[in-house]
């Protein structure tokens, strides 16, 4: 067995307290750098398109799109900050110090909590739109959604500062050697608050939406010309709402597939340690979700494709371009 003197250390000057440097093959390291750099730039670019689209065009200033805007901001920060820091996971040692180790986890935790909160609000939005369409305009207003989004972000920041308080108060207290980046949180409590309760709510709401959607689809197929005009308008409105619910359902499903594995591993009791391949894969799967969301919009939403054309061709710089009809 290699001793510390024979093995390559993270900090050679600290023989007895330095971690052993577990090197990856050079080709693998280069591949990971390229992979993370590519997805970081792609995530930033795609989510910036979403942010510009919803912010610029007035037709897109709806409560539902405001929730998508908040989600895009969260995904944008993941691409700009979290993915950039993720590159350090390819290194065999943590060299940025104990405080940056804690901050490295704090930023993703905040964006993850905000994303989960946005997903819950999106599910509530679709639930009200499908199950109570007549009351939707009065229950889900622009101002209420703005307040909800703000509270979601404030909660995400305060909650994650709280669960990482011990780590922030005494950075590095859980490291066993220099060159390691380990934090400690109460995993069962965190999983219940940030995963089990929100995702249970999302699943319950979407199951209800699905049941109502199936009922409405059958109603529309059996709809005859003799119905009253008011009911006909309601059916037309519900048809568009069902399409939006289906699209956002795909967003929620992809979110669950990307985030659940990491939380399941955390719930099993493993330490969150930088350097392991499993940890890198789980983190990469989570941040990949931030890149997938805009691709889902591009596939399902014509307004997003239309707005991207106007942005790329710089037509949004023309006067009154915000009034353009892109729906």
Q: Which residues are paired to 183 by β-bridges? A: 272
pLDDT > 60? residue 238: no
pLDDT band (50, 70, 90) for residue 157: very high
pLDDT > 80? residue 39: yes
Q: What's the CATH number where 171 sits?
A: 1.20.1070.10
Whole-number pLDDT of residue 240: 57
- Beta-strand runs (E) in the chain: 182-183, 272-273
pLDDT in tens, 270-282: 554 545 566 667 7
Specify the pTM: 0.80
Q: What is the mean pLDDT of residues 296-301?
A: 78
Of all helices (H) and strands (E), which one includes residue 71? Answer: helix 63-77
Range of the domain at 146: 26-323
Percent of the residues in the chain that have a pLDDT greater than 70, as a whole number: 78
pLDDT > 90? residue 205: no
The total of other beta-carbon atoms located within 10 Å of residue 283's CB is 20
C-beta pairs of 280-287 under 8 Å, 24+ apart in sequence: 280/32, 280/86, 280/89, 280/90, 283/86, 283/89, 283/108, 284/36, 284/86, 285/258, 285/261, 286/108, 286/112, 286/258, 286/259, 286/262, 287/39, 287/43, 287/78, 287/79, 287/82, 287/83, 287/86, 287/108
How many CA atoms lie within 13 Å of 13's alpha carbon, on the beta-carbon side? 0
Whole-number pLDDT of residue 229: 45
Q: How many domains does the chain have?
A: 1
Whole-number pLDDT of residue 226: 45
Q: How far apart are CA 249 and CA 246, in angstroms?
A: 5
Whole-number pLDDT of residue 207: 80
Per-residue exposure over 138-157, b if at least 16 CB sit within 10 Å of its own CB, e if not: eebeeeebeebbeebbeebe
* Average pLDDT across the chain, whole number: 78
Q: Would 146 be classed as within a structural domain?
A: yes
Higher pLDDT, 228 or 280: 280
Q: How far apart are CA 198 and CA 121, in angstroms?
A: 10
What would the two tokens of residue 214 be? 């199936």
Helix, strand, or coil here: 170? coil
Helix, strand, or coil here: 288? helix
Q: How far apart are CA 116 and CA 258, in angstroms?
A: 12
- Rounded to 5 degrees, φ, ψ at 271 are -70, 145
Q: What is the mean pLDDT of residues 15-39?
A: 77
Whole-number pLDDT of residue 66: 92
Residue 246: exposure state from Cβ atoms within 10 A (0-12, 13-18, ≥19): middle
pLDDT > 70? residue 233: no
pLDDT band (50, 70, 90) for residue 241: low
Q: How far apart are CA 3 and CA 148, in angstroms?
A: 56
pLDDT band (50, 70, 90) for residue 49: very high
Q: Would 11 be classed as within a structural domain?
A: no
Whole-number pLDDT of residue 224: 46
Q: Would 240 be classed as within a structural domain?
A: yes
Q: How far apart are CA 67 and CA 124, in angstroms?
A: 11
Q: How far apart are CA 76 and CA 139, in angstroms?
A: 29
Q: Would 8 be classed as within a structural domain?
A: no
- Beta-strand runs (E) in 158-223: 182-183
- Beta-strand runs (E) in 8-126: none
Q: Would 4 be classed as within a structural domain?
A: no
Q: Would 10 be classed as within a structural domain?
A: no
Picking from 62, 198, 85, the residue whose alpha carbon sits closest to that of residue 141 is 62
Q: Would 9 be classed as within a structural domain?
A: no
Q: Would 242 be classed as within a structural domain?
A: yes
Angle at 27 (CA atoms; ends 26, 30), nearest 5 degrees: 85
């Amino acid at each position: 067995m290699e001793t510390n003197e024979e093995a390559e250390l993270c900090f050679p000057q600290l023989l007895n307290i330095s971690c052993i440097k577990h090197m990856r093959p050079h080709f693998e390291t280069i591949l990971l750098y390229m992979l993370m750099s590519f997805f970081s730039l792609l995530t930033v670019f795609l989510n910036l398109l979403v942010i510009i689209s919803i912010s610029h065009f007035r037709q897109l200033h709806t409560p539902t799109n405001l929730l998508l805007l908040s989600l895009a901001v969260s995904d944008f920060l993941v691409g700009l900050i979290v993915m950039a820091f993720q590159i350090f996971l390819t290194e065999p040692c943590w060299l940025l110090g104990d405080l940056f180790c804690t901050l490295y986890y704090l930023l993703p935790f905040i964006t993850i909590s905000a994303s989960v909160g946005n997903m819950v609000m999106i599910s509530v939005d679709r639930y009200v739109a499908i199950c109570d369409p007549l009351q939707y305009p009065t229950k889900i207003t622009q101002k209420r959604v703005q307040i909800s989004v703000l509270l979601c972000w404030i909660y995400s920041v305060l909650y994650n500062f709280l669960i990482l308080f011990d780590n922030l108060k005494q950075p590095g207290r859980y490291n066993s050697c220099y060159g390691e980046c380990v934090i400690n949180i109460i995993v069962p409590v965190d999983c219940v608050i940030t995963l089990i309760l929100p995702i249970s709510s999302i699943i319950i709401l979407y199951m209800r939406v699905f049941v109502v959607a199936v009922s409405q689809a059958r109603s529309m197929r059996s709809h005859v010309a003799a119905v009253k005009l008011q009911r006909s308008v309601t059916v037309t409105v519900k048809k568009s709402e069902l399409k939006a619910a289906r699209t956002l359902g795909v967003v929620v499903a992809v979110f669950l597939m990307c985030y659940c594995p990491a939380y399941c591993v955390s719930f099993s009791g493993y330490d969150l340690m930088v350097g392991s391949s499993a940890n890198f894969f789980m983190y990469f799967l989570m941040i990949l979700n931030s890149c997938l969301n805009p691709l889902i919009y591009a596939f399902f939403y014509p307004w997003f494709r239309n707005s991207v054309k106007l942005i790329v061709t710089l037509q949004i710089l023309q006067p009154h371009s915000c009034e353009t009809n892109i729906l």
